[in-house]
C-alpha cells in the first residue's frame, strides 16, 4: 500500500488549534537548552576570556534587536546604531551624574532609546524598502553629528569622561578580568531573549510574519500594519539601547564610535552569518563574527579585513544552510538519536 505524502494528516484528524500551534512552537528544544547552558558554563571554563565573551554577549543582543525588525517585520536598517548610541550615551550620562547603579541605568537607557525609536518609527511607515533604508541611515547620521557637535554634553571626539559605574545591585563590583561584566551582560541578554522569544511565538509575532510576507494581504484580513511596525520598531530600539548601555557600563567609557555606520554594518554581517528570523541568528552569528575577527586579526594584523570579506563572500556563494549541513554531517547519527528520543 503506498505511503501518504509527508505532512499529510490522517483521515479524520483535526488541525491543531491556534493556541496548541503556538504552544508547540514555543516549546523548548534540547539544542536551545544546551546553547544557554554552554553560554553560562563559559564563565567557569574560560576565566581568561571574559572580556571577549562580554563583547560577544553585547553584540549578540544588538544583533537580536536588529533581527526583530529584519527577520520578523522585513525592515532593513542601516542606522540601527542610532539606538545603540543613544543607550550608550544615556548610560554614560546617568553614571556620570549620580545614577551609578547598573540595572537602573540599563532600564533608563533602554527607555531613552525606545522613545527615540518610537518617534523614528513614524518615518518608516510610508515608502518602499529603499526609502526606509535611507531614512534609517539618515537618522543615525543625524545622531552622530549631534553627538559630535554637543561636545559639552557628550565629550565629542574625546569621548565622555568621568563615567563611574557602581556595583551591580549594590553588591557585585566590576573586576579587571571581566567576570562580573560577562555575567551581567549574559544575564541581561538571556532575560531579554526570553522576552523576545515569548513575543515572536505569540499572535503578535505571527502577525509580524504576515506583514513581512505580504503587507497588503495582511491588511485585508484585519491586521493593522502601522501599529505593529511602530510597536516592533520601538521594542527593537529598546533592545539596541540596552546593548549600548551594557557596553558603556562594562567599559566605563563611551565615544562617537558607538554611533558609527560600522556598528550597524557589524550587526547586519552578524545576521548574514547566523541567519535571521529565528532569534538565534544574532547570538550564534556574534560568536562566529567575534571569533573570526579575533583570530584573523591575531594571525594577519594588516590583512584580517581582507580575509573576513573573503570568508563572507564564500559563505554567500556556497550558502549558509548548505555549509552548516556539510559541517553537521559527521554528527548526523547523534542528531537522529537525540531526535528519536524526544517525545
With a cut of 60, say whether residue 179 has pLDDT above it: yes
pLDDT for 38: 92
The neighbour count for residue 130, using CB atoms within 10 Å, is: 9
Q: Which residues pair with 160 in a beta bridge?
A: 254
The C-alpha cell at 185 is 551582560
Calculate the dihedral angle through the C-alpha atoms of 221, 234, 59, 57, rounding to the nearest 10 degrees: -90
pLDDT for 98: 81
Q: How far is CA 111 from the centre of its chain?
A: 17
With a cut of 60, say whether residue 338 has pLDDT above it: no
pTM: 0.86
pLDDT mean across residues, the chain: 83
Nearest to 70 by CA among 239, 266, 232: 232
pLDDT digits (tens, 9 = 90+) for 47-96: 888 999 999 999 999 999 999 999 888 888 888 999 999 999 999 999 88
pLDDT for 246: 94
Q: How far is CA 152 from CA 85, 156, 159, 206, in A?
A: 17, 7, 11, 46
With a cut of 60, say whether residue 132 has pLDDT above it: yes
pLDDT digits (tens, 9 = 90+) for 97-111: 888 889 999 999 999
Mention every residue, 6+ apart, whose C-beta is less than 8 A from residue 312.
Answer: 269, 272, 273
Three-state secondary-structure class, residue 167 = coil
pLDDT for 104: 92
Q: Quick check: 178 and 250 in contact, CB under 8 A?
A: yes
Amino acid at each position: 500500500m503506498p505511503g501518504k505524502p509527508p505532512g499529510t494528516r490522517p483521515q479524520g484528524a483535526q488541525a491543531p488549534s491556534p493556541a496548541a500551534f503556538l504552544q508547540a512552537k514555543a516549546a523548548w528544544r534540547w539544542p536551545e537548552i544546551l546553547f544557554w547552558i554552554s553560554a553560562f558554563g563559559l564563565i567557569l571554563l574560560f576565566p581568561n576570556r571574559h572580556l571577549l565573551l562580554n563583547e560577544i554577549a553585547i553584540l549578540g543582543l544588538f544583533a537580536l534587536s536588529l533581527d526583530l525588525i529584519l527577520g520578523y517585520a522585513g525592515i532593513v536598517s542601516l542606522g540601527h546604531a542610532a539606538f545603540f548610541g543613544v543607550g550608550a550615551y544615556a548610560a554614560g550620562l546617568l553614571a556620570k551624574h549620580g545614577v551609578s547603579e547598573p540595572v537602573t541605568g540599563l532600564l533608563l537607557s533602554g527607555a531613552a532609546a525606545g522613545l527615540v525609536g518610537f518617534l523614528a518609527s513614524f518615518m518608516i511607515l510610508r515608502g518602499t524598502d529603499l526609502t526606509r533604508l535611507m531614512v534609517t541611515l539618515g537618522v543615525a547620521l543625524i545622531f552622530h553629528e549631534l553627538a559630535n557637535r554637543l561636545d559639552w554634553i557628550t565629550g565629542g571626539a574625546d569621548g565622555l569622561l568621568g563615567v563611574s559605574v557602581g556595583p551591580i545591585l549594590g553588591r557585585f563590583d566590576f573586576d579587571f578580568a571581566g567576570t562580573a561584566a560577562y555575567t551581567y551582560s549574559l544575564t541581561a541578554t538571556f532575560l531579554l531573549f526570553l522576552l523576545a522569544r515569548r513575543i515572536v511565538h505569540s499572535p503578535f509575532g505571527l502577525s509580524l510574519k504576515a506583514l513581512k510576507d505580504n503587507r497588503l494581504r495582511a491588511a485585508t484580513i484585519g491586521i493593522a500594519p502601522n501599529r505593529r511596525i511602530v510597536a516592533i520598531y520601538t521594542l527593537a530600539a529598546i533592545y539596541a539601547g540596552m546593548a549600548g548601555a551594557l557596553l558603556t557600563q562594562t567599559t566605563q567609557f563611551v565615544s562617537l564610535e558607538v554611533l558609527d555606520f560600522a556598528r550597524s554594518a557589524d550587526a547586519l554581517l552578524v545576521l548574514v552569518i547566523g541567519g535571521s528570523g529565528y532569534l538565534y541568528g544574532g547570538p550564534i552569528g556574534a560568536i562566529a563574527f567575534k571569533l573570526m575577527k579575533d583570530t584573523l586579526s591575531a594571525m594577519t594584523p594588516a590583512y584580517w579585513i581582507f580575509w573576513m570579506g573573503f570568508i563572507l563572500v564564500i559563505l554567500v556563494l556556497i550558502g549558509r544552510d548548505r555549509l552548516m549541513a556539510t559541517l553537521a554531517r559527521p554528527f548526523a547519527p547523534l542528531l537522529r538519536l537525540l531526535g528519536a528520543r524526544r517525545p
